[in-house]
A and B are shown apart, each in its own frame.
Chain A
Amino acid sequence: MLLFLPPALVLFTLLVALPMAEAGWYSFFRWNGYGSPSEFVGLRNFRLLLDNADFRTALLNNGLIIVVSLLVQLPLALGLAVLLADRFRGTNAYRLIFFLPYVLAEIAAGLIWRFVYDGDYGLLTKILGAFGAAAVHVLAEPDTAMSAILIVVVWKYFGFHMILYIAGLQQIDRTLYEAARIDGATAWQTFTRITVPMLGPTIRLSVFFSILGSLQLFDLIMPLTKGGPSNSTHTMVSYLYNFGVTRMQIGFGSAVGVVLFVICVGFAFGYKRLVMRDD
């Protein structure tokens, strides 16, 4: 019967655990992937990385994505969840429509928005043109490209969080609202004193997914900007892909991977211990 276990253990060890450990090992070498890693460089890859302006921009971008996810996307998702928590005509249709971007692949969503943002054929330039603006190429300008990406991030993922919140709202005991109404609570009081506290576990979970997802964002970047213009829109993972994978700098790329790993795992442990302790 124990023979049921080895397939999972072998696959996981060989293709997940071992590569994770190897990333740590390779990060101490300068290596182009051929032969075996022999040029030990100590912490040089990490020093190069942290001194690199483009990598710092990438870190900053990941930070921006987190901030926008938490301050724009989650409130939007919560607000819509509240509007859609009760059944009325069309509830289901709205829920489906809002969830649709989450089901679309990042690559498809990214290409669609690349069209929206296209300076010659796109929707945005047409809208702005109606107000008299000249053709705008938002994705080609370092000043606007990252903001444009952030909008797509919100568009793509708010529906997922909305569904989480709707599921959470349905768990709340209705008598609480009845009591609040009898006590003459205003809508805002009801929302801040009952809905938000009772949703606590769901909100903490949604923040958790939001941050971990933001840290690992990659698939959306590629169809939109590939990290450009002039490396202004990289995330950690697109930086890893661009400077590690395509240039076959195994050691340097692995160092990026290690930084990503430390941030993600450190965050996950810390958050579970400090914030989600009681959930």
Chain B
Amino acid sequence: MTEADSPSAVTVVVHPVFRQAVLLIVAALVLIPLIATALGGFKTLGSLRVDPFGLPAHWEWRNYWDILAGARYWRQMGNSLVIATLTVVLTVTVSAMAAFVFVHVRFFGSGFLLNYLLLGLLFPAATAILPLFIKIRDLGLLDTYWGVVLPQVAFGLASSILLFRNYFRGLPDDLFEAALIDGCGYFGFFRHIVLPLSRPILATVAVITFVHSWNGYLLPLVVLNRDALYPWPLGIMAFQGEFSTDWHLILAFITLTILPAIAIFFAAQRHIVAGLTSGSLKG
């Protein structure tokens, strides 16, 4: 296939060599810090100082091995996984239910309540962080998973409800009438017809929510003080604080921590790219 027989969508006629050169340079700028990080974890501190770019003269597997053999790494990944999973399950359930009501049940004040919830799209979360801290403390939820999970769910509701509502509205009305005639109540309709038809949007909301929770920093930073409960962003900052100039260890720790995310990203790239961008396109 040549350029000529596929009239390009954008037709900014750029020379292919120029295009490749630009793309390669940008790709290098993106990848070099990441590759140097992974390789740096295989070096000794001394060889890192001499040559932070190249392949290690001697592969120091110990850096990685010691981290994997210790409890610290697994504990922080486990904490993140628990928090993110709880957040996803709750966000999806609560917002799908709410969106279903807004689409299928007519009641007085429906529009007002929807707009009230969608206000959440505009609010900068950091504004609420101090009052939220007080509230979580008064509820006795400081230093618990729920102290992180519940606010994360609450702040994710607005965009999730909007995504679900837009999707549910696209489902044909006939389905609903047919279900009612067949004696299927609202709940049965929701459970047996709407949810099974909504896999794509469930996946989208789950991806967005999971990534946000997995990467989240400010909320756990304020709510959690015991390092036994630290999710990985807090754990890795603490690790960096302790080993401040032992960069070879820190780099190994960073590499192992981001590896699952990168692996999942490449495995499920299509869903993740679509999910993370569609959330904002429709929001």
A residues whose Cβ falls under 8 Å from a Cβ of B: 1-2, 4-5, 7-9, 11-12, 14-20, 22-23, 26, 33, 79-80, 82-86, 88, 90, 94-108, 111-116, 118, 120-123, 126, 155, 159-160, 163-164, 167, 169-170, 172, 174, 177-178, 180-181, 187, 190-191, 195, 205, 209, 212, 215-216, 218-219, 222-223, 236-237, 240-241, 244-245, 250, 253-254, 257-258, 260-261, 264-265, 268-269
Chain B residues with CB under 8 Å of A105's CB are 214-215, 217, 233, 258, 261
Tell me the chain B residues, 24-80 only, with Cβ under 8 Å from chain A. 26-27, 29-34, 36-37, 40, 45, 48-49, 51-53
Q: How far is the CA of A209 from the CA of B276 in the complex (A)?
A: 13
One of B11, B12, B134, B262 near A33 (C-beta < 8 A): B134
Tell me the chain B residues, 117-136 only, with Cβ under 8 Å from chain A. 117, 119-120, 122-135
Asked whether, in the complex, the Cβ of B123 is within 8 Å of the Cβ of A190, the reply is: no
CB distance from B4 to the nearest CB of A (A): 12
Asked whether, in the complex, the Cβ of B133 is within 8 Å of the Cβ of A245, the reply is: yes
Asked whether, in the complex, the Cβ of A14 is within 8 Å of the Cβ of B154, the reply is: yes
Asked whether, in the complex, the Cβ of B276 is within 8 Å of the Cβ of A160, the reply is: yes
Q: How far is the CA of A111 from the CA of B258 in the complex (A)?
A: 11
Chain B residues with CB under 8 Å of A113's CB are 33
Q: Of B172-180, B198-206, B247-255, which stretch is located at the interface?
A: B247-255
A16-B123, A85-B8 known; A257-B128 Cβ under 8 A: yes
A19-B131, A240-B126 known; A107-B215 Cβ under 8 A: yes
Asked whether, in the complex, the Cβ of A9 is within 8 Å of the Cβ of B117, the reply is: yes
Chain A residues with CB under 8 Å of B95's CB are 8
Chain A residues with CB under 8 Å of B258's CB are 104-105, 108
One of A15, A20, A268 near B151 (C-beta < 8 A): A15
9 sampled A-B residue pairs with Cβ under 8 A? A22-B128, A22-B135, A83-B22, A112-B37, A164-B280, A177-B11, A209-B280, A218-B217, A245-B129
A16-B154, A107-B215 known; A164-B130 Cβ under 8 A: no
Q: Does B81 contact A (CB under 8 A)?
A: no
Q: How far is the CA of A261 from the CA of B258 in the complex (A)?
A: 32
Interface size class of B (residues with CB under 8 A): 35 or more
One of A26, A86, A121, A219 near B131 (C-beta < 8 A): A26
A18-B135, A83-B23, A167-B281 known; A12-B157 Cβ under 8 A: yes
Asked whether, in the complex, the Cβ of B130 is within 8 Å of the Cβ of A250, the reply is: yes
CB distance from B202 to the nearest CB of A (A): 16
A96-B269, A120-B245, A177-B8 known; A264-B124 Cβ under 8 A: yes
Q: How far is the CA of A222 from the CA of B214 in the complex (A)?
A: 17
A4-B101, A11-B94 known; A223-B237 Cβ under 8 A: yes
Q: How far is the CA of A264 from the CA of B126 in the complex (A)?
A: 11
Kindly list the 7 A-B residue pairs having the minimum CB-CB distance in the complex, ordered from nearest: A19-B128, A15-B154, A105-B215, A257-B127, A22-B131, A19-B131, A8-B98
Q: How far is the CA of A23 from the CA of B214 in the complex (A)?
A: 26
Q: Whose C-beta in chain B lies nearest to the C-beta of A164? A: B277
Contact pattern, B 189-228, Cβ under 8 Å of A = 1, otherwise 0:
0100000000000000000000100110110011000000
Chain B residues with CB under 8 Å of A112's CB are 33-34, 37, 254
Q: How far is the CA of A14 from the CA of B40 in the complex (A)?
A: 46
Q: Does B86 contact A (CB under 8 A)?
A: no
One of A80, A121, A172 near B247 (C-beta < 8 A): A121
CB distance from A29 to the nearest CB of B (A): 11
One of B122, B190, B273, B280 near A264 (C-beta < 8 A): B122
Asked whether, in the complex, the Cβ of B131 is within 8 Å of the Cβ of A245, the reply is: no
Q: Whose C-beta in chain B lies nearest to the C-beta of A127? A: B53
Q: How far is the CA of A75 from the CA of B153 in the complex (A)?
A: 35
Chain B residues with CB under 8 Å of A12's CB are 116-117, 120, 154, 157-158
Asked whether, in the complex, the Cβ of B254 is within 8 Å of the Cβ of A108, the reply is: yes
